[in-house]
A and B are shown apart, each in its own frame.
Chain A
Amino acid sequence: MRIPCPWCGPRDYSEFRYGGDAAKQRPVHGETDAKVWHDYYFLFDNPKGPHDEYWQHVLGCRQWFKLARDTATNEIGEVP
């Protein structure tokens, strides 16, 4: 899989680190309900299909960015 880094262009996936589901909203600072944190930290939509996600170009420019990928095909779409 080749990942288009917005800064460096397309590079092999092995240069990147995966950062997980980008659709998740971190609970607000000071949130005290353990259930809210549980759901944020432990539960995933894990869809078979379109997925917005974070990647870091860890062996390149080291920038974090968002990527749209289809988990059923690994096809990469526009960076949202």
Chain B
Amino acid sequence: MSDRYSALALARHALQPDLPWPRAWRSPEPKTSYDVVIVGGGGHGLATAYYLAENHGIRNVAVIERNYIGSGNVGRNTTIIRSNYMIGGNTAFFEHSLKLWEGLSHELNFNCMVSHRGQIVLAVNPVQLDTFARRGNIMRLNGIDAELLDRGEVMKLLPYLDYSKEARWPICGGILQRRAGTARHDAVAWAYTRAADRHGIDIIENCEVTGFTMAEGRVTGVDTTRGRINAGKVAIAVAGHTSHVARLAGLRLPVESHVLQAFVTEPVKPLVHHVVSWGAELFYLSQSDKGGLVFGGHIDGFNTYTQRGQFGKIREVAECAVSLMPFISRLRLLRHWGGIQDMTPDGSPFICRTPVRNLYLNGGWCYQGFKATPASGWTFAHTIAHDEEHELNRCYALDRFEKGAELDEFGLGNWTYKQ
């Protein structure tokens, strides 16, 4: 078992170089039975395991991961965390998440490098700035920080944008959430894994769930590439593979799997001190601690499970980058990659029970699952422990489209990416 990380431990290991750091988590053989089996060892599955133990005292739990910890979207995202939502349901949920982020490194005894560098969304016309004012007002009424910026204020904070007369999309102002920012995504995965492991939870890597065992309409366990595991309850948190895994339990979902790409340039000196998002197109950029500019845009636009992006999208995202920050054209792209995310009709997720008893679903995260990781695990653990949704995730039910209860944050209608 791992011991506590502290300045003292660091000094001890520095002075005794022969003393190896203990492994951060065990590598156990799967047991034949658990109270709860979580399918998927991404950020959400791991956080769920941790909060099951920490908040609900449920420790006889396994997280079954097909690959290695951090191999999914939790290690592929652009690390943006924020809570600038304005639709009922979303507002409270994402703010709860941001509050959990604020204390996360201490709670998990792991430096998650949470950085409240602030996020600025840029308005490119006066009407858009009006909608930002409305969003900001709703946020402030909910106790969430938001500041409206005029063009001059944006110019002071982000002097490197294109403010020339030739700018294709003139910048009118923006909205700033100071508490928003970034977190080190791998560290978050490792931190939750280690914290769950310290609670006695088994983290089982390189083990794929290939089916569910059922009796009388209830799920009773999972079949895996390392044998059958019985379970009192089974919780799915497999991100891009949500449809694929749920189908093994006979469920057909309002989900399509799509590839989203991300990009990093060669490192440069500190330049971008915030997360910058653009109002003209879906485009977001920040600078990593190593100096690379990290950015992304839209999904490629057709359902796929290949973690490979198309060249056409690279070009489009690069065009956004150059249009907003012309200097970027002189930098080289160092790396780019794709992750498979589960897109839903209204762009909002599912954290809920399912029509199959004792089977729970966490998925449909679209572009926004990383910032949600702590609250997602927190509310999903509650839902599993009590067989009932928490007030914070009641809106994320699977049947909301049948009931006309969509959570359409941007008021654009269903399946916006197909429009």
Contact surface of A with B, Cβ cutoff 8 Å: 1, 12-14, 18, 20, 34-35, 38-39, 41-48, 51, 53, 71-74
Q: Smallest distance from the beta carbon of B395 to chain A beta carbons, Å?
A: 16
Q: Which residues in chain B, 252-277, are within 8 Å of chain A measured between CB atoms?
A: 252-257
Contact of A1 with B310 in the complex, beta carbons under 8 Å: yes
Contact of B303 with A35 in the complex, beta carbons under 8 Å: no
Give the complex CA separation of A20 and B415 in angstroms.
Answer: 11
Give the complex CA separation of A80 and B90 in angstroms.
Answer: 43
Give the complex CA separation of A73 and B302 in angstroms.
Answer: 13
Contact of B401 with A46 in the complex, beta carbons under 8 Å: no
- A13, A43, A48, A73 — most chain B CB neighbours (10 Å): A48
Residue B345 CB within 8 A of the other chain: yes
Chain B positions 309 through 331: 1 when the CB is less than 8 Å from some CB of chain A, otherwise 0: 01110010000000000000000
Q: Smallest distance from the beta carbon of A17 to chain B beta carbons, Å?
A: 8
Q: Smallest distance from the beta carbon of B392 to chain A beta carbons, Å?
A: 24
Would you give 28 A-B contacts (Cβ < 8 Å), ordered by A? Answer: A14-B310, A14-B311, A14-B315, A18-B301, A18-B302, A20-B418, A34-B402, A38-B401, A41-B345, A41-B414, A42-B254, A42-B345, A42-B401, A43-B254, A44-B243, A44-B252, A44-B253, A45-B252, A46-B255, A46-B257, A47-B247, A48-B241, A48-B243, A48-B244, A48-B257, A53-B302, A71-B306, A74-B304
Give the complex CA separation of A71 and B244 in angstroms.
Answer: 12
Give the complex CA separation of A53 and B310 in angstroms.
Answer: 18
By beta carbon, the residue of chain B nearest A20 is: B418
Residue B110 CB within 8 A of the other chain: no
Total contacting residues, chain B, CB less than 8 A? 26
Give the complex CA separation of A27 and B310 in angstroms.
Answer: 34
Residue B305 CB within 8 A of the other chain: yes
Q: Smallest distance from the beta carbon of A23 to chain B beta carbons, Å?
A: 12
Contact surface of B with A, Cβ cutoff 8 Å: 241, 243-244, 247, 252-257, 301-306, 308, 310-312, 315, 345, 401-402, 414, 418
For B308, list chain A residues within 8 Å (CB). 74
Give the complex CA separation of A42 and B400 in angstroms.
Answer: 11
For A73, list chain B residues within 8 Å (CB). 306
Contact of B254 with A44 in the complex, beta carbons under 8 Å: yes
Q: Smallest distance from the beta carbon of B104 to chain A beta carbons, Å?
A: 33
- A12, A46, A53 — most chain B CB neighbours (10 Å): A46
For A34, list chain B residues within 8 Å (CB). 402
For A46, list chain B residues within 8 Å (CB). 243-244, 253, 255-257, 303
Contact of A71 with B303 in the complex, beta carbons under 8 Å: yes
Give the complex CA separation of A71 and B255 in angstroms.
Answer: 14
Contact of A43 with B253 in the complex, beta carbons under 8 Å: yes
For B305, list chain A residues within 8 Å (CB). 48, 71-72
- Taking A44-B243, A48-B241 as contacts, is the C-beta distance between A14 and B312 under 8 angstroms? yes
By beta carbon, the residue of chain A nearest B306 is: A74
Q: Smallest distance from the beta carbon of B211 to chain A beta carbons, Å?
A: 15
Give the complex CA separation of A41 and B301 in angstroms.
Answer: 18
Give the complex CA separation of A74 and B414 in angstroms.
Answer: 26
Q: Smallest distance from the beta carbon of B189 to chain A beta carbons, Å?
A: 23
For B304, list chain A residues within 8 Å (CB). 71, 74
Give the complex CA separation of A74 and B310 in angstroms.
Answer: 11
For B302, list chain A residues within 8 Å (CB). 13, 18, 53
The 8 Å CB contact of A44, one of B241, B255, B315, is B255
Give the complex CA separation of A48 and B402 in angstroms.
Answer: 26
By beta carbon, the residue of chain B nearest A45 is: B252
Contact of A35 with B402 in the complex, beta carbons under 8 Å: yes
By beta carbon, the residue of chain A nearest B254 is: A42
By beta carbon, the residue of chain A nearest B302 is: A18
Give the complex CA separation of A20 and B258 in angstroms.
Answer: 12
By beta carbon, the residue of chain A nearest B345 is: A42
For B418, list chain A residues within 8 Å (CB). 18, 20
For A1, list chain B residues within 8 Å (CB). 310
Q: Smallest distance from the beta carbon of A59 to chain B beta carbons, Å?
A: 11
- Taking A18-B301, A20-B418, A34-B402 as contacts, is the C-beta distance between A44 and B256 under 8 angstroms? yes
